[in-house]
Amino acid sequence: MGRTCTTSLFVAGALALAACGGGSDDGNDAGRERATTTTEATATTVAAVPATTGAQVAQATGPQVQVYASASEDEPTTVLDNPNENGAPLVFLVEQAQGEWLNVLLPIRPNGSTGWIRAADVTVAANPYSIDIALAEHRLVVHKGDEVVVDTRIGVGTASTPTPGGKYYIKELLQPSDPGGAYGPYAYGLSGFSNVLEEFNGGDGVIGIHGTDEPEAIGRDVSHGCIRVDNDTITQMAAVLPLGTPVHINP
């Protein structure tokens, strides 16, 4: 299967994780799963923690957020919808503040894109969590401040469809209808995209972190870009990690 994490919205409100790195890399897409936006996506959107702690996460308060190339521009370069295409709240990782403006990491191509949004269009809260991924070591570590919360082995992309390195953040949490399926009980969509696949099975090649029905493949280069963890671990992560959590993917 070896699918990259791609999501698309059905009219009925269901989600298709069309290609999220589940299964072995044999080109078989039979393991596609339907999912619904889990309640954790809203319940853990931004943790209520002291403003001096951790990353700053901005959550949209209106139906859209206009994004500008700089704080001095008159016209936006893009407009993003809230909620997003999968029904999750629109969130951003704040890079810096400048008066009434915020420079934020954006969930769009190309990877690493940033833009300026008006502070009045969002609420901002701190998030003490972060995720560090070492691709060569097949290792994922979740920190809460200086505390290690999770330290686990992972499956990553193959040489031909690698997991892209860089700085991202969690933009959505999805719950597949079959917790024993290719994506496990939960799948996080990240703000990054495959650098190899522009689209896959109707989606735009979003990368993600999710469970798996093949735990024996963890520790190997097996996916089309997504990161796989065992189902117990993704369940633990889904219970505590807010949307907007920074994700650093290193070689």
Q: Is residue 178 part of a domain?
A: yes
Whether 5 sits among the annotated catalytic residues: the reply is no
**Same domain, residue pair 13 and 30:** yes
Residue 58 half-sphere exposure, CB side, CA atoms within 13 Å?
25
**Which residues are bridge partners to 174 per DSSP?**
37, 187
CA distance 198 to 213: 26
Of the three residues 70, 92, 127, the one that is the final residue of a domain is 127
Higher-confidence residue: 36 or 84?
84
Q: Which of 138, 143, 210, 224 is catalytic?
A: 210
CATH number at residue 238: 2.40.440.10
pLDDT at 28: 29
> Distances from the Cα of 27 to the Cαs of 6, 24, 35, 66, 83, in angstroms?
15, 8, 21, 39, 32
Pairing of β 206-210 and β 227-228: parallel
For residues 239 and 175, membership in a common domain is answered with yes
Read off the CATH number of the domain in which 111 is found. 2.30.30
The residue type at 241: L
Category of 152 on φ-ψ map: left (φ > 0), alpha (ψ -120 to 50) or beta: beta
Q: State residue 231's pLDDT score.
A: 98
Same domain? For 103 and 149 the reply is: no
User: 96 and 176: one domain?
Assistant: no
Give me the mean pLDDT over the 75-92 stretch: 97
Which of 127, 148, 170 is the last residue before a domain boundary? Answer: 127
Q: Is-contact 210 183, C-beta < 8 A?
A: yes
Residue 215 or residue 47, greater confidence: 215
| C-alpha torsion angle, residues 177, 219, 222, 33 (rounded to 10) | 0
Q: Is 143 a catalytic residue?
A: no
Which residues constitute the domain of residue 241? 7-41+128-250
pLDDT at 22: 38
One-letter amino acid at 98 equals Q
Q: Is 175 within the bounds of a domain? A: yes
Which residue is catalytic, options 5, 20, 143, 226?
226
Summarised one tens digit per residue, pLDDT across range 7-47 is 322 222 223 333 353 334 433 222 333 344 433 333 333 33
In a domain, 1, yes or no: no
- Same domain, yes or no: 32 and 67: no
Q: Is residue 170 part of a domain?
A: yes
Average pLDDT on 125-149 reads: 98
| pLDDT tens digits, one per residue of 54-78 | 899 999 999 999 999 999 999 999 9
> Which of 104, 127, 150 is the endpoint of a domain?
127
Place of tokens 């700089």: 70
Q: How many structural domains are present in the chain?
A: 2
Residue 17 pLDDT: 36
Residue type, 139: R
In this predicted structure, what is the pLDDT of residue 115?
98
